Structure 1
């Protein structure tokens, strides 16, 4: 379920674009904090150079955005326990990113847009779709790997029993 709503955040009132997905919250968090993976889910980021691959407070770098312009960024806060990070892009506050754990191995990913950023809501909604798609494919691949591993184990067991 995808939602747009106004919420109170640590940075004040924001427009929140969020999506609930069938994914492990830790896997979702890992996807969001790995700068090498940002182009996989952001429809506008095509490349990233960063001081740390996994962001933390104070990580700096630059993102290449369509149509090829490099823009500097600084991570202003990153809380792995709360699974929330915020940043400035081109020295301006930009959307904060958050992962909320839900029941049954589900999570909510949210982008918190400040009033001047609300025009970016369509980009955030597209990002949420891409994140859902990416995590779904990874989960499907994990299930497939588990199934083939179990089949291989069963095959090995039957060949050792036959001897």
Structure 2
């Protein structure tokens, strides 16, 4: 992968993990995501589904890495995309996003997503 951005969140890691893995929550925190579908509504190892972009284009995705409760990565339309990680801390957790080396500009979008995740986790 490549560069990353992270944010410490004063909420239990399970809350952040739920936000990251339930596709119905993706549009609530992902600035570039308008929706998603996956069987059962929750991603897992090797899961496949579709993600709908903010401009209305639906693209297939595959979960390429998955460590339950800790991290997952995916490819979208066959292209390696973001890796999502939750690291427990004494006061809550750190949520981080890692992007491919060729997409450092996407870190700005990821930083905004982290602010939204923090707000949503605090409200849970």
Shared fold per TM-score greater than 0.5 = yes
Q: Does 1:134 align with 2:120?
A: yes
Which consecutive residues of structure 1, in runs of 5 or more, have no partner in the other structure?
1-10, 139-163
Q: CA RMSD in A?
A: 1.1
Per the TM alignment, residue 84 of structure 1 is displaced from its structure 2 partner at its CA by 0.5
Q: CA deviation at 1:17?
A: 0.7
Normalised by the size of structure 1, how large is the TM-score? 0.73
Q: Equivalents in 2 of 1:76, 1:91: separation in Å? A: 10
Residue 115 (str. 1) matches residue 101 (str. 2): yes
| Aligned mates of 1:16, 1:121 — CA distance in 2 | 7
Provide the residue aligned with 1:152 in structure 2: none
1:80-112 CA-partner distances (Å, limit 9, x unpaired) = 15x1001001101001000000013x1100001
For the Cα contact (< 8 Å) 1:95–1:117, is it kept in 2?
A: no
Partner of 1:85: 72
Match of 1:60 among 23, 31, 48: 48
Larger CA Rg, structure 1 vs 2: 1
The equivalent of 1:48 in structure 2 is 36
Instruction: For residues 57-91 of structure 1, give each alpha carbon's deviation from its aligned partner in whole angstroms, at most 9, with x where no partner exists.
Output: 1111111112111111100111115x100100110
Matches within 5 A, 1:1-163: 11=1, 14-81=2-69, 83-104=70-91, 106-138=92-124
* Alignment partners' CA distance in 2, 1:78 and 1:54: 12
- Count of residues paired in the alignment: 124
Q: Which has the higher contact order (CA 8 A, sep 6+)?
A: 2
